[in-house]
Every structure is written in C-alpha cells, then in structure tokens.
Amino acid sequence: MLSRNLQDEVLFLPPFLNPTVMNRIATFFLFAAVLLVIPVGCRHKNPNNLLNPDENAVYYWRTWFNTNDYEKQFLTDHNIKTMYIRFFDVEPNDGWNEHDKCKPVATITFPFDEPVPDLNIVPVVFITPEAIVEYETFIDHLAHRIYAMCLKNSIPVKEVQFDCDWTTSTREAYFQFLIDVREMLKKYFGKDVAVSSTIRLHQLAQTPPAVDYGVLMCYNTGDFKDFKTRNAILDAKDVQPYLKYLNQYKLPLKLALPDYSWDVEFDGKKKFRRLNRSQNPSDVYDTTKLKCLGDGMFEIINDIPDEMVKYIRHEEVSAATILEVKSMVEKNYGKMPIVLYHLDSDQLSKYNHDELKEIFD
C-alpha cells in the first residue's frame, strides 16, 4: 500500500491518468452508456417486424364485415397492409355463473360471401374497465373465442390487440391480463401470438404495459359532454400536454389518427344529451329548422322545451389538424407507423386522395 501510494505521489499523475480512477471512470461511462442505450434500443425495437414504419394500417370498427368498392380501392391506393378488426367487446354481465360475470357483446359478423381481405389481420378486443378487474373469470373463454373466430373465418393470426381505458385503479389487472392472455393465446393457437395494446394519451404518464407495442390513440382528446368544447375528437391543444411523456415512453408505438365525425347534442340548458353518428351536414340539416352558430354548432330554431335537444355540435377533423397533430407527435417521438381510425367510406370520402396520402406518408 505504501509503495503504491508513494508511486502515485512520485509519479504525480493527474487523476484522469490514474489507472484506478480511469478504471472507475470507464466503468461509469460504460454503465451510463448502457443505461442510455437500453431505453433507446427498447423504443426503436421492432418486435417481430410488427412496426414497419412504411406499413399503413386501418381499424375496422363495425359489427358487420363488409367493405364496399370505395373502401377496397382505398386499401389498395394507400397500400394498407394491416387491418385491425374489432372482434367483440367485453363488458360486465349479471350472470350467476363464474364465467358469466362478463360477456362478449357486439361480435362482428363475417358474411359468408365477403372474404376477409388478404391483409395482415389483427383481431382487436375492447374490454371495459369494469370487466377487466374480473378478467380471471373470462380469460380462457376470451382466448378460445378469438381462436374460434379466426378459425371459422379463415383468418391467419400473428397478433391480437386489446383495447382498454385503464387507469391507475385498473392498471394492475389489465397489465396482468396482458401477460396471462399471451399464454392463453399460445395454448389455443399452438404458437406464439404477439400482443399489442392501445395506449390513450392520459396513459402515457403511466408505466407502459408488457406488450410488443402500443397504438397511441390520438383521438377522443376532449370532453365531448362539455358544451364549450370545440372539437372533442381531436384538438392539437388537447394533445400538447401529453407530448412530454413521449420522449421517455418505454414502448414502441404506432400512431392512430381519426377520420370519423359525430354530432354532439345538448339541450336548451346546454346540458349534454347524446352522441350521434354524424352524417354529412349538407345532406342532413334542414336550414329552415337549424341556425348555424359557427364552429360546427347548430341551434334548433323551433320553440322547444329546455329538456329537448336544442343544440347540435357537428364535429369532424380536418386534414390540416390531423397533419398538425401527426407532426407534433413525431417531433417528440420520431416517425411512427400510422393507423387510421377507421375504415368507413362515409367518413373517408371527406378527405381527398392527396390529403389521405399525406396522412399516411
């Protein structure tokens, strides 16, 4: 010890050339580098080639599988390779058996003569937060059902996606479900099946679930029940506060953008009444009965009681807004594969070909 200390003193080496210190510094940098690389590596990992940034995708969110000519052409024109098809929803049930505590509802029907397109089909199952806490009662049935639906309708499956509006109170259940369901799916399909999950903006602040990747839902960003909301489907201002989480989010993401529209109805007291699937306003609204108040808001002119619908807010998202949000998100995260929500000619026809192309590009 003495000689070593002496040597140090004699040699009088500056600390950065001191071998011991150098070793420590090297170790530190190496460790730091590993720490830095791991999340970056995770974020850009491309599990099973599921995240090809050039691979466009759409959701299919109807209960009857039937694509018209426009939609078929859309799939071809925009080089859609993946279609996320909602298979069914799971919600609580009053059943008195253990496995009846939750039930599948709104199951999609695949008509006999409508072949599922030759795309990468990803079954999606929406589970309500109330149901997810009971997941142990139905997980086996759910996996079997997805398997049965794929089998019957000749859908080759590599991946299944789950959609749940989980919060801190249901997070634990949902995360565990995602781990368990992977095993269940393997049991029925006889092979590994990838599992992905939707991610809502508010969920970005939480730990990500243990899935292969997530689809960031950039829609339903506002409170549609609020009379003052201008556009609850997508408003860049509503997205902004969540962008800060993107940079550190430890899960590869795709970006889902909306093309839908709806009508939000309020009564005479400006209290929310209901949400309606929207139609093209120019076809629907009779201007003799409705007064346009601007910002998509209409007022029914008739003298009606306060309890009845008095105001209708027609909401749809312009291509400019979609592109703005896309750019904001990608600025904070990097380029992401785009998923359009959802495939519906009525909605898609609002946008021209170039706009859609730009959204996917």
Partner 1 sequence: MMNLRKYLISSLLFVISLRAFSCCEPDPVEPQWHWLFFSGYGSSYNEWQQNLNMAFREENITFWHKYVKGAVSRKAVEKALYDVYLLNEQTNNAFFRYLYDHHDEEALRYWTLLKASDSAYVQNVVWEWSIWYYSVKTGTRCWFDDKELLKHDPSISRVETLDESAIRSCKNKDIRNRFLLQLMRKCFYINDYQGCITLWERYGKQVPTSVLRKQCLNYYGGALLRVNRDAEAAIIYAEIGFYDPRLHYDVEVLRKIYEKDPDSKAFAFMVQEFVNTYFDNSIRKRNHTAIHYMNPAGYCIPDTRKTVAFNALVDKILRDGKNRNPALWKSAQAALAYINGNEADALRFIAEAEKLRGTPVVKDNIRMLRLVFNSTRTDINAKYEATLLPDLQWLVRTIEKEGVPAWWEYDMLGAIPEDTDFTALHHIKILRRTILLGIIPHFERCGMAFKSMAYLNLYGEIMTNNDIKVDREFARKGQLREGVNRRGYTIYIHPPVYREQEVYLSEYGYEDLVPTERKTMLAVDSTSWQRSFDYSTMFFNYMDTTSIANVQRFLRFMRSGGRTAAEKFVLSYSYRDPSFYNELIATKFMRLERYDSALVYLRKMSPDFPEKQNIVDYIGGENRNPFVEGWITQKKNRSCFGLPFNPAAEYDKSPGKITFCQLMLRLRKLAESDTSETIRAKAAYAYAVGLFRSTVGKAWALCYYEYGWNCGFHYWKDVPDNDDCVDANVHRRVDSWLDKALRYNQDHVFTTKCMVLHSKHRKELKRMEERTYSWGGTYKEEVFVPEVREMLCDRFSDYDPFYTDDWQQCAWYYGLVNSE
Establish if 148 lies at the interface with partner 1 (CB under 8 A): yes
Tokens 């993946």, residue? 82
Q: In the window 299-338, what residues touch partner 1 (CB under 8 A)?
A: 300, 302, 304-305, 307-309
Number of shown-chain residues binding partner 1 (CB under 8 A): 37
CA–CA distance, 113 with 336 (Å, rounded to integer):
35
List the one residue from 14, 16, 152, 191 that touches partner 1 (CB under 8 A): 152
List the one residue from 9, 286, 303, 354 that touches partner 1 (CB under 8 A): 286
CA–CA distance, 296 with 263 (Å, rounded to integer):
9
- The minimum distance between CB 271 and partner 1, in angstroms, equals 11
Establish if 42 lies at the interface with partner 1 (CB under 8 A): no
Establish if 194 lies at the interface with partner 1 (CB under 8 A): no
Number of neighbours of residue 179 by Cβ within 10 angstroms: 12
**Cβ distance to partner 1 smaller for residue 93 or 347:** 93
Establish if 271 lies at the interface with partner 1 (CB under 8 A): no
**Cβ distance to partner 1 smaller for residue 236 or 300:** 300
Strand blocks (E) in 205-361:
213-217, 253-258, 261-267, 272-277, 290-294, 297-300, 309-316, 338-341
Establish if 114 lies at the interface with partner 1 (CB under 8 A): yes
Tokens 């071998």, residue? 19
Establish if 188 lies at the interface with partner 1 (CB under 8 A): no
Establish if 100 lies at the interface with partner 1 (CB under 8 A): yes
Establish if 138 lies at the interface with partner 1 (CB under 8 A): yes
CA–CA distance, 339 with 207 (Å, rounded to integer):
23
Establish if 111 lies at the interface with partner 1 (CB under 8 A): yes
The string of DSSP letters for 296-336 reads TEEEE-S---TTSEEEEEEEE--HHHHHHHHHHHHHHH---
Nearest Cα residue to 128 out of 157, 102, 109: 102
List the one residue from 62, 144, 202, 230 that touches partner 1 (CB under 8 A): 144
Please name the residues in contact with 108: beta carbons below 8 A apart, sequence gap of 6 or more: 62, 63, 64, 65, 85, 86, 87, 88
Nearest Cα residue to 158 out of 218, 213, 89: 213
Residues at the contact surface with partner 1, assessed by CB under 8 A: 93, 95, 97, 99-100, 103-104, 107, 109, 111-114, 138, 141-142, 144-145, 148-149, 151-152, 274, 276, 279, 283-286, 289, 300, 302, 304-305, 307-309
